[in-house]
Structure 1
Amino acid sequence: MSNAPNLTSLSGVRRILRERDLKPLKTLGQNFLVDLNILNMIVRAADLRPGDAVLEIGAGLGVLTEALAAGGRRVVTVEKDLRLREHLESRFAGAASVELVMADALEMDLDAMLASGLNKVVANLPYSAGSAILVNLLRAPNRPQRMVLTLQQEVARRLTAAPGSREFGLLGVWARLDYAVAIRKLVSPGCFYPAPKVKSAIVEFERLSAAPCTEAERGFFYELTKAVFAHRRKQLKAILAGMAEKRQAAAPTSVLEALEISPAARPETLDTAAWLRLARELRAALTVA
């Protein structure tokens, strides 16, 4: 790779695209990182250690792949755009530790990949599918120990918003069930080529030391919060009464009272811990198997 174009150089990226007769596709959310400082920050945030193995989603031209695989670290990188196959196979022809998977991450069993020993996820997620991919990662039983993801700033704000704010919602509730989530760095559009119309952010996810719930409780937690946030303008009392009616169970008003949650509260006012407590009690009250 010594004579290969520099992937953190705008001229190098343009050269590759020109030689391969490629144009970034807006439909795939393709914006290639060309800033060395941001690249180094992402790698530092990943806190890579001996024995770590990394899943990358959205290889692009391979700039992050190359940095992650330094020293022979195992990296499995997923890329949807078949036009990039020849470039990526050529770029990493001598890198035995890099496994290239040409596939759509939204159609893959990411949990099975994580179960193969990949303990970290580091990725510049495509803007077009970033939130959907993140949800699949969060809900995977083999949740990674640490994730460092470059996302749209709007998504990053939703992930870290405080309960009661307009930006707080289902994505933030789910993310904080298993992870401490923080924005590491806001990234300007000029760090990418072509420059996107939106700002980005590097977001860190550090898995909590203890599992917050059983898998059965987790399933109902997801069901409950998804149903409730679909009607976030309604009061909890009305939403939960509807859930109880579907199960031919009594309205769980007493559960709200026992947890000192106002029946008039709206979904975005409760934090993840409160939702987990409510899910546990409701699961018993509604006799969920």
Structure 2
Amino acid sequence: MNPRELLDEYGILPKKSLGQNFMHDPNTIEKIVATAQLMPDDTVIEVGPGTGQLTAELAKQARHVIAVEVDERMQPILEDRFADTKNVYFVYEDILKTDVLKLVGTDDFVVVANVPYYITTAIISHLLENYRRPKRIVITMQYEVAQRIISPVGDMSVLAVSVQFYGKPSIVSRLKPAVFWPRPNIDSAILAIDCYERPAVDVPSDKAFFKVVRAGFSQKRKQLRNSLSSGLGIKNKVGGTLLEHAEIDPSRRAETLTLQEWADLTQVAYDELGW
């Protein structure tokens, strides 16, 4: 039964307030499962199981599937559908309020998510900023946002730096609206993030790193001397000195810096500003 038929049977309508678009295309589901690269002993956190189309395929590949669903109206569908599936466990709460590491214990884990567009970046941040990250994240999201995440140096953003600091992102496939019901008005992407055991560059602290990055991007079209100084609340002369000590031209713009240059600048700021 496809999602529309299941929802009709249980008298449930998609909620616009939750941005619900249910995946129904078997080929897309197969591609997502293949992208997750699951092993028989893997634990999967599935975010947004909906009516369980993807859940059923994940359960065939993984040792455990822990599916986190915010819409409690899905509970009767999921509990009925998976009553005899012993390796699937459901948690009905907001993933952003969920202690993922408590759910998985000491197990390594993979995250697979098909969630509303408005919450995708928040979910990625929630997962990556934990002290222990998934081995891999596979998530469907707005295609244009996925493109921003994989941006190269020269076209970077806070979002791109934030993800690439913790893992290697790649767009696996572009999805047309027809693979979902109801159909969204835009194309989607399957984004995979292979998470590093430790961040891509060494920094005195993650907090300090992102403080500097956000300051640098606070006025994106301005030279780094100005945006960094404004974002950190310091004088332009001090901001320029920090950049020079990190061997970065103060006239450059934030989108042109490499991760290593952000790390070097963070170390200088950490040392010279007494953080």
Instruction: Report the identity percentage.
Output: 34
Give the letter aligned to residue 172 of structure 1.
Answer: A
Is 1:93 the equivalent of 2:80? no
Moved more, 26-35 or 232-241: 232-241
The alpha-carbon deviation at position 125 of structure 1 amounts to: 2.2
Paired residue for 1:283?
270
The alpha-carbon deviation at position 110 of structure 1 amounts to: 3.3
Is 1:43 the equivalent of 2:33? yes
Paired residue for 2:51?
61
Is 1:223 the equivalent of 2:186? no
Paired residue for 2:169?
181
Paired residue for 1:270?
257
CA contact (8 A) 1:180 1:207 kept: yes
CA contact (8 A) 1:72 1:95 kept: no
The alpha-carbon deviation at position 24 of structure 1 amounts to: 1.1
- Helix, strand or coil for the counterpart of 1:69? helix
Pair 103,216 (structure 1): closer, same or farther in 2 beyond 3 Å = farther
CA contact (8 A) 1:181 1:206 kept: yes
Counterpart-to-counterpart distance in 2, 1:277 and 1:50: 41
Paired residue for 1:142?
132
CA contact (8 A) 2:149 2:160 kept: yes
Paired residue for 2:109?
119
Alignment of 1:148-163 (within 5 A): 148-163=138-153
Q: Choose the corresponding residue for 2:68, options 67, 78, 96.
A: 78
The alpha-carbon deviation at position 111 of structure 1 amounts to: 4.5
Counterpart-to-counterpart distance in 2, 1:214 and 1:260: 17
CA contact (8 A) 1:229 1:267 kept: yes
The alpha-carbon deviation at position 128 of structure 1 amounts to: 2.6
- Helix, strand or coil for the counterpart of 2:205? helix
Q: Choose the corresponding residue for 1:199, options 160, 184, 187.
A: 187
Give the letter aligned to residue 240 of structure 2.
Answer: T
The alpha-carbon deviation at position 230 of structure 1 amounts to: 2.9
Q: TM-score, normalised by structure 1?
A: 0.87
1:183-241 Cα offsets, whole Å, 9 max, x none, are 00001100111111111001111123554456852121122212332322332212333
Counterpart-to-counterpart distance in 2, 1:109 and 1:215: 26
Aligned residues between the structures: 275
CA contact (8 A) 1:120 1:146 kept: yes
Which segments of 5 or more consecutive residues in structure 1 lack a partner in the other structure?
Answer: 6-11
Note the aligned Cα RMSD (angstroms): 2.3
The alpha-carbon deviation at position 120 of structure 1 amounts to: 0.8
Counterpart-to-counterpart distance in 1, 2:197 and 2:130: 17
Pair 101,209 (structure 1): closer, same or farther in 2 beyond 3 Å = closer
